[in-house]
């Protein structure tokens, strides 16, 4: 390496170090100025501007997290039709008498029937801003041997499906919810447990093993089936994970790793 290049590198590194000290000393001055401004009534930020900024921060950070690592979903978009049918089967089943009615939040209604649970939303309708969002999802952890076989990211709706060699599946839905959408979740012969997921109330539904065996008579490898659901009331997002052949701990670990 030429002497000039080495000198330039040295100068560059030296400046980087020097600028660290500038950041400290100038930062101290700015901190003092910040104190003065805080104590002064001359330079107040209007409440409306503060509210606007804080709302913007919430949305921007949320958007940043949701748009990470979407690429893994896109290549499988050709198989949308197949998965659309699967999803419909999973979340829409027969009617029965109402057993329980409970208001989950002001806008969320969960109705538990004999063979399914209906989740709907009342109140204000969705704004375009929410319903047009592309979320994308990041899954921090999946059990070994699962590969993605379908998925898409449409405005207000993201879906990804994974399977292993014996036909076990993991399906993840992340949707913007609105009063126009009703989710019918297969909860027949399920044991329900309440938990907290990402700070929001969540439920995990574990299907009776006998019913699972009967349902998957064509595939004796399938021995369990469960669904976990939680609703992010701040961002109006409902997340549902449906899987076969996982333990509760694995379901929870997947759910915890979804961003």
Partner 1 sequence: MESKKTIVVPESCSDQEFILHIYRKLNRLMFYTANKYTVDCQYNEEVVQESIRKLIEKIPTLRGLSDAALTYYVVATVRNTAINLLKRQKRQLGVVACIGDPQEDDLHDTTPSLDDLLIMREQIDKLKEVWPQLDEETRYILEGKYILGYDNDELSKFLDCKPNSVRMKLTRARRKVLNLLKEGESLDET
Contacting residues toward partner 1, per CB under 8 A: 4, 7-8, 10-12, 14-28, 30-31, 33-35, 37-38, 43-45, 49-50, 52-54, 56-58, 60-62, 64-65
Q: Which residues are within 8 A (CB) of 175 and not within 5 positions of it... i.e. 6 or more apart? A: 156, 157, 158, 181, 237, 238, 239, 240
Nearer to partner 1, 121 or 135 (CB): 135
Nearer to partner 1, 12 or 128 (CB): 12
Phi/psi for 152 (5° steps) reads -160, 165
Cβ 252 to partner 1, closest distance in Å? 20
Rounded-to-integer distance, Cα 40 and Cα 37, Å: 5
Rounded-to-integer distance, Cα 6 and Cα 17, Å: 17
Cβ 3 to partner 1, closest distance in Å? 10
Cβ 40 to partner 1, closest distance in Å? 8
Q: Which residues are within 8 A (CB) of 204 and not within 5 positions of it... i.e. 6 or more apart? A: 192, 193, 195, 226, 227, 228, 248, 251, 252
Cβ 5 to partner 1, closest distance in Å? 11
Cα-Cα-Cα-Cα torsion 72, 75, 81, 84, nearest 10 degrees, comes to 10
In angstroms and rounded to an integer, the radius of gyration of the C-alpha atoms of the chain is 25
Nearer to partner 1, 63 or 163 (CB): 63
Nearer to partner 1, 199 or 220 (CB): 199
Cβ 126 to partner 1, closest distance in Å? 22
Nearer to partner 1, 23 or 96 (CB): 23
């Amino acid at each position: 390496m030429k002497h000039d290049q080495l000198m330039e590198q040295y100068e560059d590194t030296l400046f980087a170090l020097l600028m660290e000290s500038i950041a400290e000393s100038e930062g101290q001055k700015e901190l003092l100025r910040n104190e003065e401004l805080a104590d002064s009534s001359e330079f107040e930020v209007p409440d409306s501007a503060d509210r606007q900024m804080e709302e913007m921060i919430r949305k921007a950070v949320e958007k940043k997290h949701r748009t990470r690592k979407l690429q893994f979903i896109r290549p499988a978009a050709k198989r949308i039709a197949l998965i659309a049918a699967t999803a419909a089967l999973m979340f829409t089943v027969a009617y029965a008498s109402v057993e329980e009615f409970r208001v989950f939040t002001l806008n969320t209604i969960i109705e538990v029937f004999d063979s399914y649970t209906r989740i709907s939303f009342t109140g204000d309708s969705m704004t375009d801003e929410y319903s047009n969002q592309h979320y994308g999802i990041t899954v921090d952890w999946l059990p070994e041997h699962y590969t993605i076989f379908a998925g898409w990211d449409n405005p207000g709706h993201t879906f990804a499906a994974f399977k292993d060699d014996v036909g076990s599946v993991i399906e993840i839905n992340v949707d913007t919810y609105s009063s126009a959408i009703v989710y019918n979740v297969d909860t027949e012969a399920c044991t329900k447990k309440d938990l907290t997921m990402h700070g929001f109330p969540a439920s995990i539904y574990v299907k009776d093993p006998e019913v699972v065996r009967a349902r998957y008579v064509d595939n004796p490898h399938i021995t369990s089936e469960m669904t976990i659901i939680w609703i992010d009331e701040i961002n109006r997002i409902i997340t549902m994970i449906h899987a076969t052949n996982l333990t509760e701990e694995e379901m929870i670990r997947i759910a915890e790793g979804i961003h």
